[in-house]
Structure 1
Amino acid sequence: MNLRQQIEQYTPFNAQETKDQQMLLRYMDTFDNLLTRENEFAHFTASAWLVNDDFSKVLMVYHNIYQSWSWVGGHADGDADLLQVALKEAKEETGLSKISPVSEDIYSLEILGVPAHEKKGKHVATHIHLNVTYLLQASENEPIQIKADENSDIRWFGLNDAIEASTEPEMKVVYRKLNHKLKNLL
């Protein structure tokens, strides 16, 4: 199933996801280069809500650009298999080698505004991330490792503590939603 079909078949969790799903499909109808950063206005990213074995904790990184505790993830960079992007990014950003999807289905959809910033000495203009989130799982016992060019700390948080640790108000809303969905799985 291709990315468009996955997004079309996704059942939104709330009004935000319903609206974002409609907008994602509209962007896909309008632009042909959403999988790369060549589209400087909007492009696809994949994120992971990376939980421990009993779903009681989430692994967060302290993101250098946003200066906040954050989920893991990254840009599609041409890859339409966003689950594989989420897995790759989660492994790169945490040092974990054994990460598995709880499900291969999309866990959440978000359209996220990204403020202008500097990256590797280059200005990056304000833009939009067309984000697809997956629920991934790993063991708390496996060693974790900082990826210094992207994050400066990494830690397992209790679900509510992860929300409180984030300093980005818009992301707190997203993380609350992800936790609420997680509690519905238990």
Structure 2
Amino acid sequence: MHRRKLLNLLRAYQTTDPEEQMMLAKTIHFVENQPRCFERTLEIGHVTGSAWIVSPDRKRAVLLHHTKLDRWLQPGGHADGDPDVLRVAFREAEEETGLASLKVISSAIFDLDVHPIPARGNEPEHLHYDIRFLLEADPFEPFVQTPEAKEVRWFTFDEIAKLTSEKSVLRMMDKEKANNY
């Protein structure tokens, strides 16, 4: 079964955050019951992969100002049929930042989130079941500008806390801070 690897990762994932626990249960249920969960054409929602990219000293993270959503978010995107969500997260991080120094810190899930994506054009409102992984990159490597982002930047955690109220971004930042202080 092409969903088995993701289901194994999801079942191994542990979180103490009650909201994230509910989203984990919702994601497992979705993946178990939707054979086409990796397909963008599944209109009710689909699995996506994202990357929380940190500097080697773990004091900064990469965010991009998403063109379509007009918010600062971590790099990530659609699986487009690929059931290897770590590969999806890595590919999207490369495409959206242009960073060649990216490396995977862990193949375990770092964070997950279920969030609505507003209707746009012919696409109805739908859910993204976003699986996030921890990556590292050289903070001195220049970014490559892409159409998907208005801007890509490194931010300190203090800057992120002032920049956004996105709960899932702040949760990832807090996880990283807790692991390194």
Please give the TM-score of this superposition, normalised by the length of structure 2: 0.92
Q: Which residue of 1 aligns with 2:49?
A: 46
Q: Which residue of 2 aligns with 1:181?
A: 175
Q: 1:75 offset after TM fit, Å? A: 0.6
Q: 1:32 offset after TM fit, Å? A: 1.2
Which residue identity is paired with 1:139? D
One of 114, 138, 152 as aligned partner of 2:150:
152
Question: Does 2:122 match 1:128?
Answer: no
Identity among equivalent positions (%) equals 28
How far apart, CA to CA, are the structure 1 residues paired with 2:74 and 2:158?
14
How far apart, CA to CA, are the structure 2 residues paired with 1:173 and 1:160?
15
Q: 1:125 offset after TM fit, Å? A: 1.3
Given the superposition, is the C-alpha separation of residues 4 and 96 from structure 1 closer, same or farther in structure 2, using an over 3 Å criterion?
same
How far apart, CA to CA, are the structure 2 residues paired with 1:33 and 1:164?
38
- The Cα RMSD (Å) is 1.3
How far apart, CA to CA, are the structure 1 residues paired with 2:65 and 2:167?
18
Please give the TM-score of this superposition, normalised by the length of structure 1: 0.90
Q: Which residue of 2 aligns with 1:137?
A: 136
**1:94-129 deviation line (CA, Å, top 9, x unaligned):** 011110111111001111111112xxxx43211000
Q: 1:165 offset after TM fit, Å? A: 2.3
Q: 1:162 offset after TM fit, Å? A: 2.1
Q: 1:42 offset after TM fit, Å? A: 1.1
**1:64-97 deviation line (CA, Å, top 9, x unaligned):** 1011211100011111111111111001000111
Question: Does 2:109 match 1:106?
Answer: yes
Which residue identity is paired with 1:177? R
How far apart, CA to CA, are the structure 2 residues paired with 1:160 and 1:77?
34
Structure 2, unpaired ranges of 5+: none
Contact 2:50–2:89, Cα closer than 8 Å, also in 1: yes
Structure 1, unpaired ranges of 5+: none
One of 4, 7, 18 as aligned partner of 1:4:
7
